[in-house]
Amino acid sequence: MNRTIVVERAALILDDRSLDGLSLSVLAESLGVRTPSLYKHIDGMPGLQRDIMLRAKTSLAHVLGQSAIGRSRDDAIRALALAYRRWALQHPGQYPMTVHAPASGDDDDASVSSSISDVVFNVLEGYGLLGDDAVDATRFLRSSLHGFVDLETRGAFELPVDLERSFARLTESVVVALDTWSR
C-alpha cells in the first residue's frame, strides 16, 4: 500500500458515498488495514481531501485537454462540454472538489487549477478571445457547464424532457454566444 493507492481508493469511495460517507475508518476497512496505518500515507482527513482534490483536478484537466486536441472553435467547445459533463457524472463525489479556486499559498493547487483554465484559454483563442475577454468568456462557459452539471449530479432535473437534448441546447447556446462574443 502507498499514498497513491490510498488516495485512489478514497476517491472511489467518495464517488460512491459523497464526502459525508468518506471517513478514515471506512477507507481503512476497504483497504483491509486499521485506521492508524493510514497515517503513514496521508496527513489525516484534511490531507486526504486535499490529495483527492489535486487528483480530481489533474484528471479533469487531462480529460478536457484530450477532448480539445485536433479541434477548434465550436467543435472544441462541444467536445470540451461533453468531456466536462461526462467526467462529472463519472465522478459525482469528486466533482465538487474541482470547482474551488486554489487555496492561497498552495502552489500545487494553483498549478493544477491553472492547467484546467489553460485548456479553456487555448480553446477560446480560436475565437480571438484573449486577456479580459478570455476571462469573461471562461467564466461564462464554466458557469453554464457547472450550473447544468451541478444540478444534474444532485438529481435536480426531474422534468420529463430528455437531458441529452437539454445539454445539447445549452452547449449550442454557448457556441452561439462565443461566436458573437467580441462583436
Does the domain at 57-179 match CATH 1.10.357.10? Answer given as: yes
Per-residue pLDDT of the chain (183 residues; tens, 9 = 90+): 898 999 999 999 999 876 567 888 899 988 989 988 888 898 889 999 999 999 999 999 999 999 999 999 999 999 999 999 999 999 999 999 999 999 899 999 999 999 999 999 999 999 999 999 999 999 999 999 999 999 998 888 888 778 999 999 999 999 999 999 876
One-letter amino acid for residue 38 of the chain: L
Which CB contacts under 8 angstroms, 24+ apart, belong to 118-123?
Answer: 119/61, 119/64, 119/65, 119/68, 119/80, 120/64, 120/80, 122/68, 123/68, 123/72, 123/73, 123/76, 123/77, 123/80
Query: Does this model's pTM top 0.95?
Result: no
The two domains 1-42 and 57-179 share their CATH topology (first three levels equal): no
Domain ranges of the chain: 1-42, 57-179
Does the domain at 1-42 match CATH 1.10.10.60? Answer given as: yes
